[in-house]
Amino acid sequence: MSNPSQLNSVLDRIDADFDNSLQRLFALLRIKSISADPAFAEDCKKAADHLAKDIATVGFSSEVRPTAGHPAVVGKSNGKSSGAARPHVLFYGHYDVQPVDPLELWHRPPFEPVVTDHADGRKIIVARGAEDDKGQVMTFIEACRAWKSVTGSLPVDITMLIEGEEEVGSKNFVPFLEANKKEFAADFAMVCDTGMWDPDTPAITTSLRGLVYDEVKIKAANRDLHSGMFGGGAQNPIRVLTRILGSLLDDNNHITIPGFYDGVKDLPPDILAQWKKLNLTPETFLKPIGLSIPAGEKDRLLIEQLSSRPTCDVNGIVGGYIGEGSKTVIPAQASAKISFRLVEGQDPAKIRKAFRDYVTALVPKDCSVEFGDHSSAPAIALPWTMKPLAAAKQALTEEWGKEALLIGSGASIPIVADFKKTLGLDTLLVGFGLDDDNIHSPNEKYDLKSFHKGIRSWARILAALAELPRA
Amino acid sequence: MSNPSQLNSVLDRIDADFDNSLQRLFALLRIKSISADPAFAEDCKKAADHLAKDIATVGFSSEVRPTAGHPAVVGKSNGKSSGAARPHVLFYGHYDVQPVDPLELWHRPPFEPVVTDHADGRKIIVARGAEDDKGQVMTFIEACRAWKSVTGSLPVDITMLIEGEEEVGSKNFVPFLEANKKEFAADFAMVCDTGMWDPDTPAITTSLRGLVYDEVKIKAANRDLHSGMFGGGAQNPIRVLTRILGSLLDDNNHITIPGFYDGVKDLPPDILAQWKKLNLTPETFLKPIGLSIPAGEKDRLLIEQLSSRPTCDVNGIVGGYIGEGSKTVIPAQASAKISFRLVEGQDPAKIRKAFRDYVTALVPKDCSVEFGDHSSAPAIALPWTMKPLAAAKQALTEEWGKEALLIGSGASIPIVADFKKTLGLDTLLVGFGLDDDNIHSPNEKYDLKSFHKGIRSWARILAALAELPRA
């Protein structure tokens, strides 16, 4: 049990110690823990070691645990459980980050964090991982540190799980979870990897789109050909690939793969009405990124296109000569990476199969196609009645002075489905990211205010959770 | 004037000196003269220096002459002109080569030439440039060397022009030609950069397709975006690009750009009948490259698709994340390199404009498009009545023991149009390349027989040309 004066002391401590919190975040940001690129495997290990040491200083017993891929960090709070009245929370985050290319678009080296000024005057922390997910994870760790240093203990029991392969689909982390499910038993999970509604309005995410990520390689001739000698007679795999990819959306931006929308439901009218009131316009949402025309289904609101409707995006394409100048080549192959954001009712395995059937049917008989699996995850809709939700909503509202919103997110956090499936846990999704954080892009940033008030928010949420009866 | 016994002595000398000819070719092949990549500018200079020295040993007065790009080599035979009875020939070739990527597909380093065995037992020279155009150029130089060493002179007056930017469109060579047109006056031009009909049948090329090479860059958002946060609402430039490129050909493989076929004529019935007899089938032409279905206009013969019909090929495409693994990015931009092979009646400037208009009309209003010029050249049809043609045809027929064919080529050799326009010269196109030489591809080769009998062929052609009356 905590009391209001304890919480106030903790919040004061957070303010007083904030410069040190920032330095601890910077130390983590300097580690190049890019999980997608095998060249950075040692850096991933280094980030895990660093975090294990860091949470040990907060009083967690911590270990770096091997998986079949990059290791995971496991921390357990040492506070004695006060029995049935004290909830046990599983906190999840990830220390791995996205690749940094195109490097030339960064204004500063991505692993040399700084605090600088945003064009509109906001103070921002700039580095790869500043938000996703190192900055967000550190809001929680620093909140725990403040509680521990002021009161000598934590308001709830906490198991911390910080993995190193979220950005590449958690393929090895999920079996690790499965193999240790007794050890990770808890009342519910918490994840700090989502966003606010806007810079002043906190939010809890209650639904997440799913993901299917596939790779397609079209092979034509057995070698690169000279287009003067063979052009016109020999098939060009870029032509085949662009023809297929170019046909995935029709003139109304509906996805053309047969069966793609099977099971997709319209929003309940009351939710749609609420969303309309949020008034998410091209002016507010697209203008900051230099666009003006919603690119999704023409018969849907922009907020539906972004949150409740499935999508198809080509995330990468390459074929032929891509250097300087010109080369009159017909390449032997061309490939693309394609991902689909899914909503409730869509089965990732069925979507992957429908996509592959669609592609295969369009490949000329003397060409071949190869597919490469990447991650997949179903969409998630969390129960609106989940007990910690109201407690967290109240805590966030108090910290930010504005009512916290319950929102749907366009992004996938596949681990949320795995927590439900493996450990039987629902997940509370609280985060302090903003739409303009450039996550997965050059010049990723995290508002200094998000980091500071994020720590304070978690301190309040921990206090509020302590009041909950155990399930 | 030459006589038959002189020619026989020259041919004997070629056979006796062939190992040395090969070593001289190897020395040239070892120089990494890739004109497209600025990193190899010094190597281009080195190749020019090397060639200037080499032709000096044949008795040419030679110079390396600066251009606004890579330098050109100019050589002049020192034999005294015997007046009106002795033709003056301008021989053209290029020392620059194509880039070598993808390097991992080469079986050996591309600039370490070797003689090895083809799968079917033919001896082949393998290296970048083995055929295009170092091997071909050296057939002519070695023929001159044999004539000079046996008779002390050359049968005709020769100006040699070997440039270093053919593979990047000769942008700087053409102004050089223009600036020195008096110096390069001659009776006709000869180029050794074309192919035979098959490994046993020599050919003279009498028509060449033209070329328009363009680059398209589509720009959408002002930065890379996370597809979870923005997917569905934000435009994806790869989607825009693939949609445009995928629409360039219809279901019958006709090019859809309005006006593209304006001015294109059908073949005269007699030529079409001759071509039908050549019986170029998918089995003979496409099977060796691993294909089986002609990819051009469905209502045309394969030989028409390859020689007398215009084409459209995407030569390169790139956008988004192309590394290992997956990244859920919506990139800020995507680009492609596109080329068109043109035939007689098509104006390169009009085709480029029609293509750009077509693309521009399909770009969403909140995206932008940028174009990048690369080379262009009109198609060429050489006069069938040109005097050196019959002489060269007879010489080739004697060397190979099979009647030399007059053929159309799908490839462009833009300089041929420039010789006509700038110097008023028609061009005799003789070469010894084969369809399976892998030019512009990994493992480029030149048949040892092409190199050897190519030298002998030029020796015979030079003798035959000496008999021609001057125009």
ipTM of the complex: 0.75
A positions 308-367 inside 8 Å of B (CB): 309-311, 313-331, 334, 336-337, 339, 341, 364-367
Predicted confidence band at A220 (pLDDT cuts at 50, 70, 90)?
Answer: very high
B285, A233 Cβ separation under 8 angstroms = yes
- Residue B374: list chain A partners with CB under 8 A: 325-326
Q: State the nearest Cα–Cα gap between B98 and chain A, in angstroms.
A: 7
Summarised one tens digit per residue, pLDDT across range A274-330 is 788 888 899 989 999 999 999 999 999 999 999 889 999 999 999 999 988 888 899
Residue found by looking up tokens 């029609």 in the block: B354
pLDDT at A80 over 70: no
Quote the pLDDT of residue A84.
55
A125-169: per-residue pLDDT in tens?
999 999 999 999 999 999 999 999 999 999 999 999 999 999 988
What residues of chain B lie within 8 A of the CB of A329, using their CB?
A: 315-316, 440-441
Please say whether the structural domain A4-208+379-466 has been given the CATH code 3.30.365.10.
no
Contact A110, A439 (CB under 8 A): no
* Distance in angstroms (rounded) separating the CA atoms of residues B191 and B179: 21
Q: What is the secondary structure of B231-276 as a DSSP string?
A: TTTS--HHHHHHHHHTTSB-TT--B-STTTTTT--PPPHHHHHHHH
The yes-or-no verdict on residue A3 having pLDDT over 90 is no
Distance (Å) from the alpha carbon of A69 to chain B's nearest alpha carbon: 14
With contacts defined as CB-CB under 8 Å, which chain B residues touch A367?
Answer: 291
pLDDT for res B5: 86
Q: B201: burial class by Cβ within 10 Å (0-12, 13-18, 19+)?
A: middle
- Measured between CB atoms, does B294 come within 8 Å of chain A? yes
- Please tell me the distance from the alpha carbon of residue B402 to that of residue B198, in angstroms, as a whole number: 11
* CA pair distance A171, A376, nearest whole angstrom: 10
Q: Report the pLDDT averaged over residues A237-248.
A: 98
- Flag if A236 and B295 touch (Cβ within 8 Å): yes
> How far is A206 from chain B, CA to nearest CA, in Å?
15
Instruction: Tell me if B411 and A295 make a contact (CB, 8 A cut-off).
Output: no
C-alpha distance from A266 to closest chain B C-alpha (Å): 16
Chain A / chain B CB contacts < 8 angstroms: 367
Q: Which residues of B touch A311 (CB under 8 A)?
A: 227, 231-232
Does the beta-carbon distance from B99 to A327 stay under 8 Å? yes
Residue pLDDT, tens place only, B396-421? 999 999 989 888 888 878 899 899 99
CATH number, domain A211-264+310-377? 3.30.70.360
pLDDT at A307: 87
Q: Does B225 touch chain A (CB under 8 A)?
A: yes
Of B239, B327, B366, the CB nearest to A291: B366
| B313 CB-side CA count, 13 A | 37
Distances (CA, A) of A128 to A32, B136, B330: 9, 52, 17
Classify strands A60-65 and A72-77 as parallel, antiparallel or unpaired: antiparallel
- pLDDT average, residue stretch A95-113: 94
Rounded Cα distance between B247 and B258, Å, is: 12
A221 contacts in B (CB within 8 Å)? 289-291
Tokens of A296: 């999704």
Q: B407-436 burial, b if ≥16 CB within 10 A, otherwise e?
A: bbbbbbbbbbbbbeebbebbbbbbbbbbbb
Q: Which candidate from B293, B295, B327 shows the least CB-CB separation from A99? A: B327
The lowest-confidence range among A19-28, A333-342, B227-236 is: B227-236
Inter-residue contact A213 to A314 (CB < 8 Å) = no
Instruction: Report chain A's mean pLDDT, rounded to a whole number.
Output: 93
Contact B236 A313 (CB under 8 A): yes
Interaxial angle between packed helices B348-362 and B237-245, expressed in degrees from 0 to 180 and rounded to the nearest 10: 130
Interface test with A, best of B167, B226, B287 (most A CBs within 10 A): B226
CB contact under 8 A, B442 and A224: yes
CB contact residues (below 8 A), chain B span 121-180, against chain A: 167-169
One-letter amino acid for residue A259 of the chain: G
Gap from A305 CA to chain B (nearest CA, Å):
5
Please report the pLDDT score of residue B417 as a whole number: 87
Q: Which residues of B, range 17-56, sit inside 8 Å of A by Cβ?
A: 36-38
Enumerate the β-bridge partners of residue B61.
B76
DSSP 3-state of B409: strand
Nearest chain A Cα to B235, which residue? A295
Q: Measuring CA to CA, which residue among A221, A231, A328, A237 is closest to residue B305?
A: A231
Interface-testing mutation among B440, B444, B445, B446, with chain A (most A C-beta atoms within 10 A): B440
CB-CB neighbours of A370 under 10 Å = 11
**CB–CB contact A440 B328 (8 Å):** yes
Taking the Cβ of residue A240 and every Cβ of chain B, the question of whether any pair is shorter than 8 Å is answered with no
Task: Please say whether the dihedral angle defined by the alpha carbons of residues B39, B43, B44 and B45, taken in this order, is positive or negative.
Answer: positive
Cβ–Cβ below 8 Å for B242 and A239: no
Interface test with B, best of A313, A343, A409, A441 (most B CBs within 10 A): A313
Q: How far apart are CA A130 and CA A163, in angstroms?
A: 17
pLDDT value of position A384: 62
Within 8 A of A439 by CB-CB distance, chain B residues are 226, 229
Average pLDDT, 10 consecutive residues per value, chain B (471 residues): 82 98 98 96 98 97 97 85 74 97 92 95 97 98 97 95 94 95 95 93 91 96 90 96 98 97 90 83 92 96 92 97 88 97 94 98 98 87 79 96 87 87 94 92 96 98 87 52
Which of B102, B221, B232 is closest, CB to CB, to A311?
Answer: B232
Of residues B107 and A387, more confidence is placed in B107
- pLDDT, residue A4, reads 77
Nearest CA in chain B to A209: B228
Rounded Cα–Cα distance for residues A413 and B166 (Å)? 53
- B338 → chain A, closest CA residue: A328
Q: How far is B401 from chain A (nearest CA, A)?
A: 25
Domain topology for B210-264+310-377: Alpha-Beta Plaits (3.30.70)
Tell whether B103 is within 8 A of chain A (Cβ): no
For residue B27, what are the contacts with CB-CB under 8 A and spacing of at least 6?
B50
A292 touches chain B (CB under 8 A): yes
Residues 180-199 of B with CB under 8 A from A: 195
For chain A, what are the domain ranges? Answer: 4-208+379-466, 211-264+310-377
- Of residues A235, A313, A318, nearest to B295 (C-beta): A235
Question: Residue A119: which pLDDT band, with cuts at 50, 70 and 90?
Answer: confident
- Residue in the block written with tokens 């190199």: B451
Backbone φ and ψ for B34, nearest 5 degrees, come out as -85, 110
- One-letter amino acid identity for A76? K
Q: Per the CB < 8 Å rule, is B328 touching A339?
A: yes
Closest C-alpha to A234, from A331, A129, A143:
A331
